[in-house]
Each structure stands twice: as structure tokens, then as C-alpha cells.
Structure 1
Amino acid sequence: MSHPPDSSHTDDGFPVIRTIGLVIVALVMIWLALTVRLPGTDALRDRIDDFGFWSWAVFILVYAGVALTPIPVTVMALAGGLLFGVTIGSVLSVIGAMLGSLAGYAIARGLGRETVLQLLGSRRKTLEERLEDAGFEAVFTLRVLPGMPYWPINYAAGALGVPFQVFAISSLVASIPGQVSLVAIGAFLGQPTVAMGVVVALAWVVVIVMTIWAWRAWKGIARFPLPGSADRD
């Protein structure tokens, strides 16, 4: 699909600055992906727990920082369950994931469309096709689709002009089941009771159902009347 030039999508005003920004962001993300490894779940839990009362704030900030990068956030969610239990751990994990997602969106808005699309590499075509003039359903589907990391969706949504409110709400709704399911596993590892096992099972049932729906929607087999999906065929 081709679109006429739009001033909100061009990088003509600051080509040098945005090129430099692309280089810096790309180098940082490559370095993080190749060299930085989060400590194991137990070690991470102990380090955050050392902050005492402020451990919840440290957890959120670390989670948000990790969510900005290609580093998988699974360990963070598991540590959240070990540290804070299912309820509080899920809330803190969702907040951390959302802060990272919104920060990535904001960074992409600043860098500009072409700059960010170059950063996405092989995922550029798929995300450009799915998120161009997209609404709630497109972002939601990408969020729960297996194998699609969070960070490229965040940056692509900002670069391609997905409305902030649509991006924020769809990301929040889509991320809750996945975060709860991972946090529940962490909590179960710390407290392996039958009740906790039931929570884990229920959370993963929801994740599996959402994953199946997302895959069918991706293939054009299923549609779901999500907000913002009306009038788009």
C-alpha cells in the first residue's frame, strides 16, 4: 500500500540528527542483545530485594529498561512473582512492561519514521503492513502473536503514527494475560501450592486462547469485535 508524503512521517527537517540517533540506538541495542545477560531469577530477586521498601520501584524501573531493549523480559516477570506474589507481582510487571513500551513509542516518535523502520531490519515489512493506519485490533494481534517480541512493535507503532491512546490501551489489554501467566509461574516456584498451581493453569489457558485467536486473525480466519476494529476490512 502506498501513501502520499506526510509531514508527520518525514525526516527532512533533521536528517543528520536522526541518522546519528539511528546509529546510536542501533549500536546500543546490538550491544545489549549480544553482551548483556540478566542474572538468574534467584539472583535478580535477591538484588532487587536488597532495596527493601523501594524494591517495588526498582523492579518497575529495571523492568521498563529491559523492555526497551531486545533482551527478553521473561526473567523479570518470574522474579516479580518470586518477590511480590501473583497479585502485586502482576501489577508491577504490567506497569514495568507498559512504561518500557510507552518509552519505546516515544523514542520512535522522536527519531522519525524512516529512521526507526531501518532499525527494525527484517521485521520492517511485516510491521509496516500491519501497523500502517492501524487501530486496536492490529496492535492487539501483534502483541499476542507467538514469536513477535515487544520492542519492535513499540518502535514501529510510534514511527508509523499509531494513535497514542490506541497503542496504550491495546498494549495494556494484550499484555495482562501474558504477564500474569509468567508472574504466576514465578510465584509458584516460590510457593508451590495447589491453589497457586490453579492460578498458573488458568492464566495459561487464557494465554493459549488469545494466542490461537491472534494466529487465526493474522491469517484472516477470525475476527473479533475489538474497539477500533469496526469499518476496517
Structure 2
Amino acid sequence: MVWLVFNVDLPSAQELEDRIGDFGWLAWLVFIGVYAVVALTPIPVTVMAVTGGLLFGPVIGSAVSVVGVLLGSWGGYWIARAVGTDLIRRILGSHGPRVESYLDGAGFEAVATLRLMPGVPYWPVNYGSGAFGIDQKTFLSASVISVVPGQISLVALGAVVANPTWYNGVIVILGWAAVITMTVVASRRWKRASRENRESPAAE
């Protein structure tokens, strides 16, 4: 959050509203589409989530941001499934070995933890999940559960910038509290599952 304040240069809420004003009721769909495309790239999705709060407020902004990032994440997953593991390793570059070690044969807890961890980009998780053996059901269920609190907290941050009320501030605090709590829980479950998987061959 501190990094956002000092480093992310966003247009004012009025400028953003003016840019999409011509789209009328299609503004929501335009935003979702742009967000989905951004989620396919290394561009930080944080910028889009904060922009969603500036444009639409905490409630609608959270809804369109969650839909946009999930569509983009799902698209990245299927791109990885289509192009194959070797090309994805090259695309991931320096992220590749770490993402592969985390996701190769992993499950729900691994995807959820990586989604929740502050500072972990979405795009390596999207492509890595498709390339390194995460089934679609696990990927989608972990993504849906884990992206919601983070997106809400970031959208609320944008809403605070546009309209600094106590209501928006409370949403930011609750959102980040949920992210931290869920990260700790998911991380512990991931470690426990990994330990059990390592011990199971020995037990046999």
C-alpha cells in the first residue's frame, strides 16, 4: 500500500471517468475486457484494481475487477496448456524455476497461497498452473477464493483516493486483514500437505 502511494501514477478519477464516459453502460464491460488483457501480461494487476475503485467505487469496482482478473487468469492458464511446458519455461524466464518448484504436482493450497501472497505477480501463477500440472478445477476454485479479498482491498484503496470516507477506509482494513489471515492459513495447509506427500511413499 505504501509502495502504491509513492510509485503508481494514476490519472485523477475525473480524467478516468471522462475517458470511458463515451462508452455509457458498456464501461463495465470495457473495463473487464481491459483488465482481462492486462492479467495476461506482466503488467501489475494492482494498477487495474486501484483504477476500478477510482472509477466505480468499492462495490461495483470489486465486482468488475474480480471478473476481469479471473477471466484473464483463466485465459493465461489455457494459453499455457496450449503452447506447452517448454515455451512457458522460456516465457517465465527467471520466475520459471521457482514457479515450477511450487506448482509441479501441487494442489489447491499452493495456488491459493501464491495468489494471496503480497508481491507475487499473478501472471506466473496463471501460466505456471497451466504448464506444470494444476488441473482446471483446482486452479479455478483456488483462484476464485483467493483473489476476492485482495481485489476488494485494492479496489477500496482506489475508492479512498477518489472519495476518502470512513466506509472506504474500513473496507481497505478489512480486506487486508482477510488477505493476511487467509495467506497464513493457506500457507500452513500447503506446508502440511507438502509434508504429507513427502512422507506418504516412505509410509508405503
The TM-score with structure 2 as length reference comes to 0.83
Q: What displacement does 1:176 show?
A: 0.6
- Residue in structure 2 matched with residue 186 of structure 1 by the alignment: 158
**Contact persistence 1:136–1:229 (CA under 8 A):** no
- Residue in structure 1 matched with residue 25 of structure 2 by the alignment: 53
SS at 1:50's partner residue? helix
Which residue of 133, 141, 149 maps to 2:121?
A: 149
- Residue in structure 1 matched with residue 49 of structure 2 by the alignment: 77
Amino acid at match of 1:199: I
Which residue of 104, 108, 116 maps to 1:132?
A: 104
Amino acid at match of 2:122: Y
RMSD: 2.5
SS at 2:118's partner residue? coil
- Residue in structure 1 matched with residue 11 of structure 2 by the alignment: 40
- Structure 2: distance between partners of 1:81 and 1:209: 23
Amino acid at match of 2:189: R
Q: What displacement does 1:146 show?
A: 2.8
Q: For residues 88 and 225 of structure 1, do their structure 2 counterparts lie closer, same or farther at Cα, with a shift above 3 Å needed?
A: farther
Q: For residues 75 and 161 of structure 1, do their structure 2 counterparts lie closer, same or farther at Cα, with a shift above 3 Å needed?
A: same
Q: How does 1:1-233 map to 2 (within 5 A)?
A: 40=11, 42=13, 43-213=15-185, 217=187, 222-223=188-189, 232=197
For structure 1, which runs of at least 5 residues remain unmatched after alignment? Answer: 1-36
- Structure 1: distance between partners of 2:60 and 2:195: 35
Q: Out of 139-148 and 56-65, give the one that drifted further.
A: 139-148
For structure 2, which runs of at least 5 residues remain unmatched after alignment? Answer: 1-7, 199-204
SS at 1:223's partner residue? helix
Amino acid at match of 2:153: S
Q: What displacement does 1:209 show?
A: 2.4
**Contact persistence 1:41–1:79 (CA under 8 A):** no
Q: What displacement does 1:121 show?
A: 1.3
Share of identical aligned residues, percent? 51
**Contact persistence 1:137–1:229 (CA under 8 A):** no
Q: For residues 38 and 154 of structure 1, do their structure 2 counterparts lie closer, same or farther at Cα, with a shift above 3 Å needed?
A: farther
